[in-house]
Amino acid sequence: MRAMSDLIRIEKPAERITRVILNRPRKANAQNAPLLYALDAALMEASRDSAARVIILAGEGKHFSSGHDLAEIDTKLTGYTPLGVWGGFGDPAMQGFMAYEEELYFGLCWRWRNIPKPIVAEVQGKVIAAGLMLVWICDLIVASEDAVFCDPVVTTGVNGVEYFAHPWEVGARKAKEMLFTGQGITARAAERAGMVSRVVPLESLTQETLALAELIAEKPAMGLRLAKMSVNAAQDEQGFYNALRAAMSFQHLAHAQHWALHDTYADPNVEDAISKVLKLPPRE
């Protein structure tokens, strides 16, 4: 085991398996720029490691990820070398905020979705908003029985998280229900919708995820790579990328509305609004 930073750990739990762990449990693995850039470095290392055939993405502690750390949004991204084509971080209003979100949220997710190795999410507890973005870039999702998946972002006046894959993950009507109400869904409901691959007891989550990863890792690396690329190509031919881009444009429109009304990116009561919806019991 070793640390990519204090926010990300890397393990080699079995031959041909790399396990990447979000390591911010006191913040329920809330995502800030340092965590996301450290995660990118870890995933890129695993992607380029010919000894690693399967990647597991896990979260330390009770919850996989509580989403964006709203207290630590730093649009200037000071001290980081951009990974995408965007610049202008820290520019005023929508100009800077758009660059920030394109780089840190959409750009990183799209980059990770196209890593040419199987990625298996190991998920427990709450998966809120941007937490969904992390599990949705994975090829398979193994969830514990206590896992709950929720996108409460509409309650802040925005259309949903930046990597807007909801209709592809749970179907159009379940996606609309999740978005319109902000109410989460259980692991079993997510499994029925086709989003979650397997639901297992919490106490055996790590073991079951590793067993699945080892089963996959027995297959030839080239075959796994081509199979993943083929399924991703099928999604892309169905309009997946264009749909994500359209939703991201609506995301920026919503932010522009709030900059005009409140001189900030979302409803000023964003934290209270999200807190209220998160108290709703998840749909079974």
Residue 247 in domain: yes
Residue 284 in domain: no
Please report the pLDDT score of residue 216 as a whole number: 98
Is the pLDDT at 110 greater than 90? The verdict is: yes
Is the pLDDT at 139 greater than 90? The verdict is: yes
Residue 283 in domain: no
Residue 246 in domain: yes
pLDDT digits (tens, 9 = 90+) for 13-52: 999 999 999 999 999 999 999 999 999 999 999 999 999 9
Please report the pLDDT score of residue 278 as a whole number: 87
Is the pLDDT at 4 greater than 70? The verdict is: no
Please report the pLDDT score of residue 93 as a whole number: 85
Q: Which CATH number belongs to the domain containing residue 135 in this structure?
A: 3.90.226.10
Please report the pLDDT score of residue 276 as a whole number: 86
Rounded Cα–Cα distance for residues 105 and 83 (Å): 12
Q: Nearest to residue 122, comparing CAs of 27, 207, 12, 4?
A: 207
> Can you give the residue range of the structural domain that contains 185?
2-278
Residue 214 in domain: yes
Number of structural domains the chain divides into:
1
Residue 215 in domain: yes
Please report the pLDDT score of residue 179 as a whole number: 97
Say what percent of the chain tops pLDDT 70: 99
